[in-house]
Amino acid sequence: MRRYVLAVLLLALVALVVDVVAAQGPAALVVQGTAEPPGLDLTATPATATAAVVQYNVQECLVKMDRHGKLVPWLAERWHTADNRNYTFFLKRGVRFHNGREFRAADVKYVIERALNPETKHPHRGHYQSITDMVVKDDYTITFVLKETNPSFLLNLSRAGSVIYPRETVETMKSQPVGTGPYVLQDWVRGDRIVLKKNPEYHVKGLPKLDRVTFRFIPDANAVLAALKAGDLDVSFFGLGPEHVQDLARDARFQVLTGNTTNDVIMAMNNSRKPYTDVRVRRAITHGINKAAVLKGAMFGMGKILGSNVDPLNPYYVDLANAVPYDPAKAKKLLAEAGYPNGFDTVLRVTPQYAYTVRTGEVITDQLKKIGVNVRLEQIEWGQWLARVYREADYDLTIIGHGESWDAGNYANPKYYFRYDSAGFQGLFKKSESMMDDKARRDLYVQMQKLMADEAPVVFLYMHPRLAVAKKGVEGLWKDLPNSSADLSEVSWTPKK
């Protein structure tokens, strides 16, 4: 009888434990993003949607930009330079790729050599062109030799395109990236979700804190709102409108994160296509846009008006929000001087994948009518935008947010989709890329920002704010976004009491 009672008690205890575990569920998180990555190979696409999923979660760099925008050692435990031209990196020992092989200095050399090879078509090959040699001294030590000083060298090694991967996985990275990160790619159901699972051999003790992360791709903000309220999502990273965020802020089940980002929303003008080849037209368009009204209409006033591509998270930021003020009369005068006294017709391409582009475009379309510029708003899918606008520069006007940090170099590249070709700007940028004195470099960035405002290659609109929503109990999310990664390595659930 005693044994029977003990057996019953034991079964009851087991049942209780099972019920508790079932109630708490596994350490899993379901997060929403707006755009599904076009591919998962960070050496093949500049898409921030790819960086959000892969960088810091699946693949990592020698150097990491942390949540405060500070560069810290990562796969390299430290580095040393005596002359700012020879950098020796001392790698972490015992780090393993997801395929089980140890990470070594030869992998670093291979990755950078491949990025420098024009045949690989790396999206940011220019980030590495100051490197003239790499010397592998042993399995855990590598020295980079630069042809000239480069103040962006360490920053560039922290960028998404600098992730380290094993050479044997190059052919499959587009769909199955392998790295050293806290998570391993488990599954990608195209059109629906990407599932990451915990890397049990991660090189940072105690991380990650989650067993599984599922990225769900839902572009429609109303659908995201409904999924959050139904409990189908734990976190919305991007895509909710400000009105949705204000609604959820009143719901005790959720927490709202608002902060700064490097996502600079612009209206690009094709500088190689008439009438935007004429700086007077570009200035006229800028004067014809009331940025405060755009911010209010598209973002309910949330965010910050910009006057150049340098955002408030950048230490060289200068507030040029009013450098080219709203002035319809001046806009009409400039158009007349450029040969368009009656204005002209043009097409503005936006993508519904990002709702803010459509909303911003609708406000701007109404504003430009007042200066005689008749805008036809054309909505195209994200894939078409990447193919036609980004790669082929087949557009008049377009609106998009640029999430990459420290990306002034795009404006120094005449082949970039703006087709902005300014010898003056290119000269300033080139000089800034070899200037190690911080004050002098900041002065150059001030000049660059003023020149951007003056030559108006695009209309700098606003910084898209960090508008994230999470269930109460989710901890460790970044408040600000100094880069494009959705770093989930430190995210966890508050233990239930």
**Per-residue pLDDT reduced to its tens digit, 400-423:** 999 888 999 999 999 999 999 999
| Cα 82 from Cα 79, distance rounded (Å) | 10
Task: Detail the DSSP E strand segments found in 262-359.
Answer: 264-269, 304-305, 344-350
Average predicted confidence (pLDDT) for the chain: 93
Residue 494, in any domain of the structure: no
Q: Do β-strands 254-259 and 373-379 pair in parallel, antiparallel, or remain unpaired?
A: unpaired
Residue with tokens 């960090």, as numbered in its chain: 466
Using CA of residue 150, residue 155, residue 156, residue 157, what is the dihedral sign? positive
pLDDT of 22 over the 80 cut: no
pLDDT of 160 over the 70 cut: yes
Which of 17-31, 61-75, 320-334, 370-384 has the weakest average pLDDT?
17-31
Last residue of a domain, one of 172, 188, 210: 172
| Residue 312's CATH number | 3.10.105.10
Pick from 48, 132, 42: nearest CA to 85: 132
pLDDT at 9: 38
Before 118, cis peptide (omega within 30)? no
Which of 134-138, 269-273, 354-358 has the weakest average pLDDT?
354-358
Q: Quick one: 443 and 312 in the same domain?
A: yes
pLDDT of 14 over the 80 cut: no
Tokens of 61: 């760099």
**If residue 425 lies in a helix (H) or strand (E), which one and from where to where?**
helix 423-432
Residue 103, in any domain of the structure: yes
Degrees (nearest 5) of the Cα angle 361, 365, 369?
Answer: 170
Residue 9, in any domain of the structure: no
pLDDT at 497: 59
Determine what percent of the chain is predicted with pLDDT higher than 70: 94
pLDDT of 193 over the 50 cut: yes
Mean pLDDT computed over 359-375: 98
Q: Quick one: 146 and 293 in the same domain?
A: no
Q: Quick one: 148 and 271 in the same domain?
A: no
Q: How many domains does the chain have?
A: 2
Residue 485, in any domain of the structure: no
| Position 16 confidence tier, pLDDT thresholds 50, 70, 90 | very low
Residue 274, in any domain of the structure: yes
Let me know: does 454 contact 422? Beta carbons within 8 Å.
Answer: no
Domain extent for 133: 58-172
Last residue of a domain, one of 122, 137, 172: 172
| Residue 166's CATH number | 3.90.76.10
User: pTM for this structure?
Assistant: 0.84
Which of 5-14, 350-359, 373-382 has the weakest average pLDDT?
5-14
Q: Quick one: 323 and 452 in the same domain?
A: yes
Segment 278-312, tens digit of pLDDT: 999 999 999 999 999 999 999 999 999 999 999 99
Q: Quick one: 270 and 150 in the same domain?
A: no
Residue 159, in any domain of the structure: yes
pLDDT of 23 over the 70 cut: no
pLDDT at 241: 87
| Cα 59 from Cα 183, distance rounded (Å) | 9
CA distances from 395 to 375, 413, 461 (A): 13, 18, 19
Pick from 34, 48, 477, 403: nearest CA to 244: 34
Mean pLDDT computed over 196-215: 98
Q: Quick one: 158 and 303 in the same domain?
A: no
Tokens of 345: 């017709």
CA distances from 320 to 264, 345, 402 (A): 14, 29, 18
Q: Of 18 and 240, which is predicted with more confidence?
A: 240
Residue 410, in any domain of the structure: yes
Q: Quick one: 131 and 273 in the same domain?
A: no
Classify residue 489 by its DSSP letter.
T
Tell me the Cα Rg of the chain.
Answer: 25
Q: Quick one: 167 and 271 in the same domain?
A: no
Last residue of a domain, one of 155, 172, 189: 172
Tokens of 262: 């490097």
Residue 45, in any domain of the structure: no
Classify residue 82 by its DSSP letter.
S
Q: Quick one: 280 and 420 in the same domain?
A: yes
Percent helix / strand / coil, the chain, rounded to 5: 35, 25, 45
Mean pLDDT computed over 374-403: 96
